[in-house]
Chain A
Amino acid sequence: MKLYDSLIKFVEQKLGPVAGKLGSQRHIGALRDGFLVAMPFIIVGSFILIFANPPFAADTTNTFGRIWLDFVAAHRATIVMPWTMSMGIMSLFITMGVAQSLAKSYKMDQVGAAALSVMTFLLVAAPEKGWALPLNHFGGTGIFTALLSAYYSVELTRFLKERNITIRMPEQVPPAIAASFALLIPVLTIFLTAYPLSLFLQANFGMQIPDAVMMLFSPLVSASNSLPAIIGALLLCQLLWFAGIHGANIVVGILSPIFLTNIAGNAAAYAAGEPLPNLFTQPFWDFYIFIGGAGATLALVILMSFSKATHLRSVGRMSALPGLFQINEPVMFGAPVVMNATLFLPFVLAPVVNAVIAYIAVNTGLVDRAIAVTPWTTPALIGAAWGAGWVLKASILTAVLMVIDVLIYYPFFKVYEKQVLAEENAVAASQTVAPVEGGQQVTA
């Protein structure tokens, strides 16, 4: 238990505070909230992509499949159009969302900031040709550029404002009019900085800024598809959650550009009929690793729902419905799992085992890679299939992982149940309710 004690000490004293700082850091917060702005467009957009690519072989004899395939073949461009204008240009929504969130955190003009970041992004990522904007960097390959455009334009505006480099208006001028002048200098400064950089890269390296940015971030993106990186990210999430800190809020917040870059790469390949390049996606994370929430606690919730101990049974049943929708705060704080030494091992082990098995299954092609983004609150069995383009194999993988999770949790759950039962019996015998302090103890 010495290792456990020093680990907990590390999480509480070192990791926790750092995570707290990261979680309240405004650029990370803006990243997380800004990406949320783009999510509805991406979720519904990716849904359309699946519709445009029926899960049937080209020579299927299935009547339903036949009709679907023929319909899509005849109207493909018309059907794909909404996808292009939602998921296909997601970087545009991301740059707006991130700039707006960041401006909000600085209490600056939000719409102005969003508009300025869109201009910055377009200026460097979409060199117009004959009154048309090429869309090739509006999707996955433009995500990091969109992010940088938002940060740059907002920080620049703030910098100029703080240095009082602005067009001053007399007091009598209505605030709205003054605000419309406030952005003049930032727009000009972006013309004079971002645009020359873009021209320089094009002239000397034949690259657009998004190409250069993707080149810088590509090691990070390809590393994200490796098992050690996946396990590293999930362990961080698990340790934070074990200390009662919303790990996903921080870890997924930072991972979101990678998740989207990966899924956009897959969606583009899928639309083009090419093999899908990326393994590590949001559906992989949510519906294979964290079935029922962090720690894959749905398995524990199932065990608890049939427990002999009243406390565990009632918390288990109360946590069942939220758990089905990937929300696990009730079981985390109610069982509790947080800081519960008995449940520490399965809590950490179950997601790791899920990740390893899912990695092998997806990497060998046994189960399809994800092409669609889903709401994270989708029940895992449905979400897995949806993410992979309505492939049943994905749900089967999730079901198998759930059974394994139950087996992993079972022995530890039994030990814990015994502790709780002993406590409940003691309380029943004495009838003097003296709740023990939380921590490793059991509080009924």
Chain B
Amino acid sequence: MKKIFLCCSAGMSTSMLVKKMKAAAAERNLETDIIAVSLSEFDETITEYDVCLLGPQVRFRHEDLARQAAEYGKKVAVIDSMAYGMMKGDQVLDQALALLEG
């Protein structure tokens, strides 16, 4: 089970992307748990999930969130802005999986 969470200001626009990512995962028969949360929920979510992707509009938090995640040996990355805008679930799922591998 791959546990991925997306994070943006209020967790609104990322929740749209979550839907697309779940569809992409289902197509590949991947077992995943993908959710979207707001920045203020990052702290408690990072302990339970394996990897975090940030909406590009909150990339200014990347550095300090990545530092927090590193304490748990986890990674945080910023979603490619074009993939985000186009809501490319497939591509963002790839990004999350690559992050989990690496």
Contact = CB atoms under 8 A, between A and B. Distances in A.
Interface residues of A, number: 34
Interface string A223-246: 000000000000000000100111
Chain B interface secondary structure, helix, strand, loop or mixed?
Answer: helix
B13 A104 contact: no
B70 interface: no
Interface string A313-340: 0010010001000010111111110100
B57 interface: yes
B40 A23 contact: no
Contact of B13 (A24, A315, A322): A322
A318 B64 CA distance: 32
B16 A443 contact: no
B31 interface: no
Contacts, number: 82
Contacts of B12: 322, 327, 377
Contact of A245 (B39, B60, B87): B60
Contacts of B60: 16-17, 19-20, 23-24, 245
Given A20-B60, A336-B81, A329 B86 contact: no
Contacts of B85: 315, 329-336
Given A19-B60, A20-B60, A248 B86 contact: no
Given A245-B59, A318-B87, A330 B81 contact: no
B9 interface: yes
Contact of A438 (B55, B59, B81): B81
Contacts of A246: 8-9, 55, 57-58
A36 B10 CA distance: 11
Interface string B88-99: 000000000000
A104 B43 contact: yes
A443 B82 contact: yes
Interface of B: 8-9, 12-13, 16, 39-40, 43, 55-61, 63-64, 81-82, 84-87
User: 9 shortest A-B CB distances, which residue pairs?
Assistant: A334-B85, A333-B85, A20-B60, A329-B13, A246-B57, A249-B9, A33-B40, A333-B81, A333-B84
